[in-house]
Amino acid sequence: MSCAFASFWIIERLVTDYRLSKVDGVRASILGGNPITSFFFFFKGAYMHSQNRLLEYYFSMFDSADPSCPSAVEITIMGRRSIVTIDPEHIKAVLATNFTHFGKGERFHSTWEPFLGDSIFTTDGQLWQQSRTLIRPMFLKQKIRDMDIVERWSDVMISKIPASGQTVDISDLFYRMTLDATTDYLLGHSVESLENPKGEFSKAFTYVQRKQMLLTLLAPVRSFIPKGEYKRGIKVLEAFIQPFIEATLALVPEELEKISKSDKEFTFLHQIALFSRDPKVIRDQIMAVLLAGRDTTAATLSWALYELSNYPETWYKLRSHVLQKVGPDAVPTYEDIKDLTYLTHTLYETMRLYPAVPFNIRTCLENSTLPGQPGQPDIATLKGDHIIYSTLAMQRHKELYPPVSETFADPAIFSPERWDHWTPKPWQFVPFNGGPRICIGQNFAMTEMAFMMIRLLQKYERIEYRGDWAAQYLKADIVGCPGQGVPIALYEAEKRY
């Protein structure tokens, strides 16, 4: 057995060396040069993830990187080479310059297929392009301007906040609110998790995502991981979605056409049904946008309130901007939101420290390269290699920031003011990714989050943290969220002027 294993390893190394000799470019520093040390890195990664210390582990990988290539390392697990990088130029190459050379790839597709099928999230090439074309109309500016759904669900959420000064886990409320708003937006019906916190849909959705992250992390050995509850969870999600798909498909084309002219009735589901009558195509895209749109905004809002509870003066400043622009009660318009620059900066600052998708992966679809350091050769990537990049690690990398000054606080600190005088260099701030596959919901998300923040700022004059602020940690699943929730107290403004 050990003989076969050693032979496999030697052959695999020779094949890789041979393939590399046929392409331009050098190798990044090799971590775990043999199967035993590679497995050590692999399992350490899984362990650090379970301990919510993935960022620390990620940074530690670069400790032994060669100075000629300080921000990329190579590791091979079960015959598959992965290049782990923290370099903005590499992220740019993967997402934009060499976009067609890198994609989600076959392994990602098969690992995610039970959950997200052949949706925008799991496919490459023409299939992905078709999904993007199908979905794009729902994110046009004139659609985003209509904020009825966000208004309705933010009002319901605020009605669930206990009386002034009482403790509430605002993160839990954000997760329920975004689930209700997103299902309403997608299907025209909400799961109403704000009313039913213990509903089986939200439980199943959370479980399936956790398991999906584990399956992605342990992809090489995923066949050995039990998946019974994961499959049952997916069935629960489908059972909720399916009746709406059937009802939409039962509409005659004239009815569907008529609904498509109505701003209020027309949903994402109708939009897809206009182009596809295949229930699986519709199911897959709905599931993908539900995943993409729900936790990302909930987590970002949670982190924003977490940080603001430590910086009461920022809360006051935001509130005074909101009262000046929108007033204490009026419903904010799209234009109000776009004019509230300090609020936008607060959200940017939140996403700089806590980008919603902290770790990401691409597969090399054809031999390619990642740019070398100035004066150094490029790094060769082979078809089938994985490129692992972390927006979180990159955006927390001190060396990418200007020196601390009067106008630029320590980059480790939450400081929306830094954005008054500073614009990040291209590819050094990419919470929504970049290139052709940039988040299609970016403008929608920014509008939704700002709307929610404005409603809170209108009503509450003070915010207070009610846990151990310093003990908070980032739980990095598919989306990175505050591991301890966000226990806070909000104080209603006494005088509304």
Residue from 300, 346, 381, 415 touching ligand HEM (CB under 6 A): that is 300
The minimum distance between CB 483 and ligand HEM, in angstroms, equals 18
- Per-residue tokens: 377: 């050769």
User: Which DSSP letter does residue 271 get?
Assistant: H
Q: Do 484 and 472 form a contact (C-beta atoms < 8 A)?
A: yes
Q: Which of 190, 193, 202, 360 binds ligand HEM (CB under 6 A)?
A: 360
Choose, by CB under 6 A, the member of 356, 364, 382, 481 that binds ligand HEM: 356
Write the binding mask 443 to 472 for ligand HEM: x where contact by CB under 6 A, - elsewhere: -xx---------------------------
Binding ligand HEM (rule: CB under 6 A), the pick from 437, 453, 459, 463 is: 437
Nearer to ligand HEM, 31 or 121 (CB): 121
Q: Could you identify the residue written with the tokens 């799991």?
A: 122
User: What is the C-alpha separation between 424 and 400, in angstroms, rounded?
Assistant: 9
Q: Tell whether 364 is in a known binding site.
A: no
* Binding residues among 14-53 for ligand HEM as defined by CB under 6 A: none
Q: How far is the CB of 467 from ligand HEM (least distance, A)?
A: 23
Comparison of 27 and 362: residue with beta carbon closer to ligand HEM: 362
Instruction: Single out the residue of 486, 127, 128 nearest to residue 298, CA to CA.
Output: 486
- Interface with ligand HEM (CB under 6 A), residue from 440, 454, 456, 474: 440
- CB-wise, 461 or 477, nearer to ligand HEM? 477
Q: How far is CA 53 from CA 42, 227, 296, 337, 378, in A?
A: 14, 25, 20, 36, 31
- At its nearest, how many Å lie between ligand HEM and the CB of residue 360? 5
Q: Which is nearer to ligand HEM, 267 or 360 (CB)?
A: 360
Of 25-33, 143-151, 435-443, 454-462, which segment contacts ligand HEM by CB under 6 A?
Answer: 435-443
Three-class DSSP category at 497: coil
Our CA dihedral for 121, 127, 133, 135, rounded to 10 degrees, sits at -40
Among 289, 379, 392, 453, binds ligand HEM (CB under 6 A): 289
Candidate list 117, 411, 434, 441; residue touching ligand HEM; CB under 6 A: 441
What is the smallest separation between the CB atom of 154 and ligand HEM, expressed in angstroms? 14
Burial category of 142 from C-beta neighbours within 10 Å (exposed 0-12, middle 13-18, buried 19 and up): exposed
Site string for ligand HEM, 120-139 (x = CB under 6 A): xx----------x--x----
| CB count in 10 Å sphere of residue 335 | 10
How far apart (Å, rounded) are the C-alpha atoms in residues 37 and 31? 8
| DSSP code string of 312-381 | HHHHHHHHHHHHHHT-SSSPPPHHHHHH-HHHHHHHHHHHHHS-SS--EEEEESS-EEEPPSTTSPPEEE
Q: 84, 439, 452, 488: which one contacts ligand HEM (CB under 6 A)?
A: 439
Q: Is 143 in the site for ligand HEM (CB under 6 A)?
A: no
CA 364 to chain centre: 21
Q: What is the number of the residue whose Cβ is closest to ligand HEM?
A: 441
- Cα 249 to Cα 135, 259, 296, 301: the distances in Å are 18, 13, 30, 35
Token pair belonging to 430: 């990419």
313: three-class secondary structure by DSSP = helix
The least distance separating ligand HEM from the CB of residue 431, rounded to whole angstroms, comes to 5
Total binding residues for ligand HEM by CB under 6 A?
Answer: 23
Of the candidates 402, 395, 396, 482, the one whose C-alpha atom is nearest the C-alpha of residue 434 is 395
Alpha-carbon distance of 395 to 210, in angstroms, equals: 24
Q: Among 46-54, 257-265, 378-386, 429-437, which window interacts with ligand HEM (CB under 6 A)?
A: 429-437
Secondary structure of 20-53 in the HEC alphabet? HHCCCCECCEECCCCHHHHHHHHHHHHHHHHCCC
Closest contact distance (angstroms) between CB of 461 and ligand HEM is 26
Report in angstroms how near the CB of residue 292 gets to ligand HEM at its nearest. 3
- Helix ranges (H only) for 326-467 are 334-339, 341-353, 391-395, 442-459
Least distance from C-beta 205 to ligand HEM, angstroms?
15
Q: How far apart are the first and last CA of the chain?
A: 78
Residues contributing to the annotated binding site for heme: 439
Positions that interact with ligand HEM (CB under 6 A) = 120-121, 132, 135, 289, 292-293, 296-297, 300, 351, 356-357, 360, 431-433, 437, 439-441, 444-445
Residues contributing to the annotated binding site: 439
